[in-house]
Amino acid sequence: MGIQFKPEQLKAYFVCGSQDVHGDFVTIVKQAIDAGITMFQFRDKGAGSTLTPSQRLVVAGQIRKMCRDAEVPFVVDDDVELALAVGADGVHVGQSDEQIQRVIQQVGSKMFVGYSCSNLTEINRANEIAGIAYYGSGPIFETGSKADADPVIGIAGLAKLVTAATRPVVAIGGITEASLTPIIKTGAAGSAVISMIAQSDDLKRTVSAMNRA
Ligand code: TZP
Ligand code: MG
């Protein structure tokens, strides 16, 4: 049993993989943890990843340990095998990733499950599935971090999804410091970001802004 899911952990959610960083991946995650992120998602995928599968396992294990020491929930994106291998606290599943029902069965009570839902149809369907902890919804704005991103939903689109959702919603996609407060005003539990943290010139300021919003 890892860390139990709590909605407030979605407030300052850092999503990252080797493809998203210029410097050393593990160092940047350590700095983000020290700056106060409330959840971390290991999302190492795509043509830009610099890790082989065996390196990915090692690096995921290192970050997993850093998160445990800091009591920051550690989530693995779209790879149940890796999540189980490193004893993750959670696993995150997209609509076109591993099948949500299967994943829920596979992880049982060992970890919580997050699910990407980017429109009302997906939210309404997900509301009927037992065993999901939270929804990730977006992209809110244009993003340069995901090649196959769904259409932009904007703040108004997010507000509609939050209203329909029976679970906490974390917003994702193109989020900057200026959009943190409008996002929280929709009733979303927090923001999940890649570039805002991975490319921040002041991690303390950036992560504090997420926690304050
Ligand atoms: N899913 C929807 S948008 C996105 C993901 C993983 C990328 C978010 O990255 P950024 O840099 O915060 O826009
Ligand atoms: Mg995915």
pLDDT single digits (tens) 182-210: 999 999 999 999 999 999 999 999 999 99
DSSP secondary structure, 89-122, as one string:
SEEEE-TTSS-HHHHHHHHTTSSEEEEE--SHHH
Nearest ligand, CA 15? 1
Nearest ligand, CA 96? 2
The torsion angles phi and psi of 79, rounded to 5 degrees, stand at: -155, 85
Q: Is 43 a catalytic residue?
A: yes
Q: Is 116 a catalytic residue?
A: yes
Q: Which residues surround ligand 2, an ion (CB under 5 A)?
A: 78, 94, 97
* ipTM (interface pTM): 0.95
Token pair 């689109």 is found at 157
Nearest ligand, CA 172? 1
Annotated binding residues, as ranges? 41-45, 77-78, 97, 116, 143-146, 174, 194-195
Inform me whether the pLDDT recorded for 99 exceeds 90: yes
Residue 71 CA to ligand 2 centre (angstroms): 24
Inform me whether the pLDDT recorded for 171 exceeds 80: yes
Share of the chain above pLDDT 90, in %: 97
Which residue is closest in CA terms to ligand 1's atom 8? 173
3-class DSSP assignment, residue 62? helix
Residue 97 CA to ligand 2 centre (angstroms): 6
Single-letter amino acid code for the residue at 77: D
For ligand 1, mutation pick of 21, 28, 137, 146 (most atoms within 8 Å of CB): 146
Q: Is 65 a catalytic residue?
A: no
Inform me whether the pLDDT recorded for 136 exceeds 80: yes
Q: Which pTM value belongs to this model?
A: 0.98
**pLDDT tier at 80, thresholds 50, 70, 90:** very high
**Contacts by residues 21-30 (CB-CB < 8 Å, ≥ 24 positions apart):** 21/198, 25/59, 26/59, 26/62, 26/63, 26/66, 28/198, 29/63, 29/66, 30/66
Q: Which domains does the chain have, with CATH numbers?
A: 8-212 (3.20.20.70)
3-class DSSP assignment, residue 4? coil
d(CA 107, CA 115): 14
Q: Beta strand pairing status for 90-93 and 112-116?
A: parallel
Q: Smallest Cα–Cα separation from 183: which of 9, 6, 12?
A: 12
Which residue is closest in CA terms to ligand 1's atom 3? 173
Single-letter amino acid code for the residue at 96: S
Catalytic position from the list 56, 64, 146, 179 = 146
Residue 137 CA to ligand 1 centre (angstroms): 10
Work out the angle at residue 76's Cα, subtended by the Cα atoms of residues 70 and 80, and round it to the nearest 5 degrees.
Answer: 135
